[in-house]
Amino acid sequence: METESPLPLTADTKQLAQQTVFPILFTISFAHLINDMLQSVIPSIYPLIKGEFHLTFAQVGLIAFTYQIVASILQPFVGFYTDRKPRPFSLPVGMGLTLTGLLIASMASSYYTILVAVGFIGLGSSIFHPESSRVAHLASGGRKGLAQSIFQLGGNAGSAIGPLLAAIIIAPYGQFNVIWFCIAAFVGILVLLQIGKWYRDRLAYNAKNKTTHSEYHNHNLSRKRVMFSLAVLLVLIFSKFFYLSSITSYYTFFLIHKFHLTIQHSQVYLFLFLGAVAAGTVIGGPLGDRFGRKYIIWISILGVAPFTMLLPYVPLFWTAVLSVVIGLILSSAFSAILVYATDLVPGKVGLIAGLFFGLAFGMGGLGSAVLGKVADMTSIEYVFKICAFLPLIGIFTAFLPNIEHKKKL
């Protein structure tokens, strides 16, 4: 007895399997925008929380550490599990956990309740990123750098919008107004339910037609060389995200301390930086597809060093200009690093996405905690002076093998 195909073999479904599915890429990018916008709300109100609960910089760093370490520890395990057993409808569940964290944060009356709230938000992130990265991979049609850039664009745009909305909605009126962001989380749940349906149908189609995912590359590298190359990529992720944590967690404090800006004005400058990060993400992926990801990694991490070294010493106008330049250049690396890693270990998109997103969150959390302690012991300006040297670690890109050919798209 013949079994009916879970997704009929029509011209439309064949096209979906072989070409870039832009409606899905832009939809999952929008969901990423909502997810990361909600996550960026908490760092955006650090100055408010610090004043309200009379916290030290080290305690502020511990809030970031709690959120990011929960996400970083769980993401590789989520990715490893879903490589074997994909769970399309885990995406709205993750957004539901973020919604729970926001509700708790809006009504938190103590420092420890804030830690619980950010723990829920971190848990939601640990589920969202590995599975949504797989959706982008499935919809890429082989243009993986472009797909990752579109996906990352949403996340970076959300991270940029979050502080601006926090400055408008939360900073003038108080902590309880975090609750308004729960509306966005509910919209995200509805969007991810629709993505989950497409994801489920695509998996069913691929299972029925195994030729649709014959995109793996044979790079002829030994297991030892692959592991070494992954280690190099993780070192580069450390450099990138440890530096980024100095900006996302402490840039507003730096501007307030050095240039005597208000909290709201400092959030506008943070928005400019994060907007540049979003723009740089769009550029990095397609350029990696066209010219080779190793070259983009070189330029993105090592190439930003002169600008990071200048940043702590210039007046306000040039601080804003340099932060935009740094955001543009540094952000172009992540899509290239992630796709390069999936080419090194084909067929393990969830594990690689979980590992690299997890390390990104972990480095951000560790960076926030360590740099907060350094700021308490020295000054916030000193933090930016020592972090300026982190991009020099980009020299390790020289140890990466050439595993790809240039593509003209």
Q: How are the residues of the chain apportioned to helix, strand and coil, as percentages rounded to the nearest 5?
A: 85, 0, 15
> What pLDDT does residue 385 have?
92
- In the chain, where the domains are located: 19-207+222-399
Q: pLDDT tens digit string along 222-246?
A: 888 888 988 899 888 888 888 887 7
What sign does the CA torsion over 356, 361, 363, 366 have? negative
CA neighbor of 167 nearest in space, from 16, 72, 272, 89: 272
Q: Please name the helix (run of DSSP H) or strand (run of DSSP E) that holds residue 359, with its range, or none.
A: helix 349-377
> What pLDDT does residue 161 have?
83
Contact 155, 33 (CB under 8 A): yes
Percentage of residues in the chain having pLDDT higher than 90: 21
Contact 286, 146 (CB under 8 A): yes
Those residues whose C-beta lies under 8 Å from the C-beta of residue 53, and which sit 6 or more positions away, are 59, 110, 111, 114
> What pLDDT does residue 198 have?
92
pTM for the model: 0.68
For residue 265, CA distances in Å to 66, 251, 268, 269, 326 come to 27, 12, 5, 7, 20
> What pLDDT does residue 213 have?
46
Contact 312, 324 (CB under 8 A): no
Alpha helix (H) residue ranges in 209-346: 223-259, 263-291, 293-301, 305-310, 316-331, 333-344
Contact 361, 35 (CB under 8 A): no
Q: Does domain 19-207+222-399 have CATH number 1.20.1250.20?
A: yes
> What pLDDT does residue 192 have?
95
Blockwise average pLDDT, block size 10, the chain, 409 residues: 40 56 91 89 77 81 79 79 84 93 87 90 88 86 80 81 79 77 93 92 78 54 88 86 80 90 84 82 76 83 92 94 92 82 80 75 70 87 91 90 59
Cα torsion through 316, 321, 324, 330, rounded to 10: -100
